[in-house]
Amino acid sequence: MAKLFRLTDYRRNNRRVSFSQQELRQLLNVYSRRVVTGEWRDYAIDHQPGMAVFSIFRHTRDAPLFKVAKVAGRGDRNDEYVVVSGVQKLVSGSSIGEVLRVFERRALELVR
């Protein structure tokens, strides 16, 4: 027998998350500065249930160097932003500007 569920419960638990125009502007500002220096060359934006991910690549065919994710908050909590490199979580915070500051550090420059 089929299992019935409320559509409103499904939508609440699987909220589609995307970057706002202001968030994309901030992401692309950081990205374009690194493109000019030759460190980064490509990016991708993915949407998964409850999450939007901005992936940054050195080469198109490689794994992403960094991922900036916007994760949907549960219940009355606000969205969370996370920056990861590989499997290592670099920083998390409640605003995109806060987590993008990690790219201002000299330690995250590409070794040539």
Whether 70 maps to a domain, the answer reads yes
Q: Is residue 85 part of a domain?
A: yes
Q: What is the pLDDT of residue 100?
A: 95
In this structure, is residue 3 part of a structural domain? no
Residue 4 is assigned to a structural domain of this protein: no
Series of mean pLDDT values for 10-residue runs along the chain (112 residues): 65 75 96 92 92 93 93 78 93 94 70 56
Structure tokens at 102: 């990690």
Give the total number of structural domains in the chain: 1
Is 112 part of any domain?
no
The verdict on residue 58 lying in a domain is yes
Domain with 22 in it: 15-106
